[in-house]
Amino acid sequence: MVTIERAERSDAGEILTLQRGAYVSEAQLYGDPFIAPLIESLEQLRKAIESAVLLKAVDDRRIVGAVRGLVADLTPGTTNGRTCVVGRLVVAPDRQGEGIGTALLEALHEQVAQEYPDVRAFDLFTGHLSNANLRLYKRLGYGETRRERVQDHLTMVHMRRVSTIGS
């Protein structure tokens, strides 16, 4: 049975290994072995665990998924709420298609709402060719806000889900 809980600093190595395994298919899809999740260092991940809401999915002591959310001002210098930037949603390749990604995102939405009641939106981005990711995010209430061409082979699709908490 998969449980979702807050990641701890001691989980960093296992999460980094999982992240690298999960993002290999994305690197192949875009023909780019240097995408950020594949070159993130162990120390950078440890810092993310300390500064973000980083959740892990655990099945029989094995970490099979993770997601992080970093809360920031919605509009810097204003008091109209904050946003949670969602990143690095990963599921072990052998466990994809089991609903773990959905469960992680839903748990992140709930956890952030509890810890940061002034969060007004959840923002994320993914590559334009990542059809499974795009379908998942749309199913969970994310809508496309813009597209940004970052390289010849890569256009980032930016998406937002407005929080229903506190509105």
- Tens of pLDDT, residues 27-69: 998 888 888 899 999 999 999 999 999 999 999 999 999 999 9
> Can you give the CATH number for the domain in which 77 is found?
3.40.630.30
Closest CA to 83 of 116, 126, 140, 122: 122
Q: Which pLDDT tens digit goes with each residue over 84-104?
A: 999 999 999 999 999 999 999
pTM score: 0.91
Instruction: Tell whether 167 is covered by a domain.
Output: no
Residue 7 lies in a domain: yes
- Domain enclosing residue 154, as ranges: 2-162
Query: Does residue 55 sit within a domain?
Result: yes
Number of structural domains, the chain? 1
Mean pLDDT value across the chain: 92
Query: Helix/strand/coil (H, E, C) string of 94-147?
Result: HHCCCCHHHHHHHHHHHHHHHHCCCEEEEEEEEECCCHHHHHHHHHCCCEEEEE
Is 125 within a domain?
Answer: yes
Least confident of 75-84, 132-141, 158-167: 75-84
Residue 88 within a domain: yes
Whether 109 is covered by a domain: the verdict is yes
